[in-house]
A and B are shown apart, each in its own frame.
Chain A
């Protein structure tokens, strides 16, 4: 097995759940998110020679995964606006409707950063690479997003 395949397999085994959970709000279900992760890693395997070692492998696969997820949503729903594209069909949203509503009110870019941080467990550097922004911008965006979310969530809700 070549080194690229080994590295991808390791990443897959260690981070599969985070990938699936992070993608579920984008595509609308865990089942479809699972399929997106499988397809994204398959594409990554096929084009592993294109990966440049100076970047994060995880961030590279995330970019592929988001591309696959967006392709699916476009195919399913036709043309979508940027804000619709990241509309959080928060999985098990009934468990936290208040959080789902608060997320929906965030601008798309902030919403993506929040997903990548809280559902996919990516580091600031990895989010920066996936979203094509600087680490400083990630920190600032997250800070603003957190503030916006917490403003909308009640104290009782936060402690729930």
Chain B
């Protein structure tokens, strides 16, 4: 027998993987995530609906705002800047002011530019909220929520200027369970979507559009919000592209025509 415990320890150490791919936010999300339809269901109806629910198997992430991770100090400061900037721009049109209340909190993480980036949200005294992800952000009030079920949002235009390569926005229609992005070529993709509890009481989606969908003929066309049964209950037309682009996907064309 050879007494060489240090060498044995070194040999084990050589097999270790030192890559740190930890994600505390994911742990918090797992600990608190509750499918929203269960949250809304009265107790008396729970058994019947759970049986139906498993067949439908549609739900969104739901976040209790006050249990979400508070943002670090530098993010709180960024929100101060964003709030002032938005209020200043809004004041020019006699619009609302935004007084943030309490700390901003992290409500989801989305892969943008190859990194999982946090989406921060903070409520305002006026009943709205401010949100920020990566270098984009905005402040909104409930009265600017659009009748289409989607609220404020935006993205970065493609080089051609007729599509988006990056999307971030809010959803005001409470029955929305999933947000689907439609492309010109008929492809569809379900976007990361989370509903945040009061005082925010809104949904958020964000997406880094793949490069192949920044080309003419394959551009982003519309966002569709679907309820538990798959019905389109909200939509947002990304109609930077001309009419014929929207018409290439009949569902988007029909919805977008209504709100032209």
Contacts and interface: CB of A to CB of B under 8 A. Distances in A.
Given A90-B15, A149-B8, A159-B7, A13 B30 contact: no
B101 interface: no
B76 to A, nearest CB: 15
B20 A46 contact: no
A146 B22 contact: no
A46 B67 CA distance: 12
Chain A residues touching B, majority SS: helix
A158 B15 contact: no
Interface residues of B, number: 28
Contacts of B12: 99, 118-119
A147 B236 CA distance: 68
Interface in A115-160: 118-119, 146-147, 149-151, 153, 155, 157-160
A63 to B, nearest CB: 17
B23 to A, nearest CB: 7
Interface stretch (A33-41, A52-60, A74-82, A104-112): A33-41
B30 A39 contact: yes
A99 B30 contact: no
12 contacts: A12-B27, A17-B16, A17-B20, A20-B17, A38-B30, A39-B30, A96-B14, A118-B12, A119-B16, A146-B5, A150-B8, A159-B7
Nearest to A160: B11
B189 interface: no
A95 B24 contact: no
B16 A12 contact: no
A30 interface: yes
Nearest to B70: A1
Contacts of B54: none
A38 to B, nearest CB: 5
Contacts of B15: 90-92, 95-96, 99, 119
Interface residues of A, number: 37
Interface of A: 1, 9, 12-13, 16-17, 20-21, 24, 30, 34, 38-39, 41-43, 45-46, 90-92, 95-96, 99, 118-119, 146-147, 149-151, 153, 155, 157-160
A24 to B, nearest CB: 7
Nearest to A145: B8
B51 interface: no
Given A45-B28, A159-B7, 15 more contacts: A17-B20, A24-B17, A38-B23, A38-B30, A91-B15, A92-B17, A95-B15, A99-B11, A99-B15, A118-B9, A118-B12, A149-B8, A150-B1, A150-B5, A157-B11
Contact of B1 (A92, A99, A147, A157): A147
A146 B16 CA distance: 18
A146 B24 contact: no
Given A17-B22, A150-B1, A150-B8, A91 B17 contact: yes
Task: Rank and list the top 6 A-B pairs by shortest CB-CB distance, nearest first.
Answer: A42-B30, A16-B22, A118-B12, A45-B31, A42-B31, A41-B27
Contact of A158 (B11, B13, B21): B11
Interface in B1-57: 1-5, 7-9, 11-24, 26-28, 30-31
Given A39-B30, A118-B12, A150 B24 contact: no
Contacts of A45: 27-28, 31
Given A13-B22, A39-B30, A155-B2, A146 B8 contact: yes
Contacts of B14: 95-96
A8 to B, nearest CB: 8
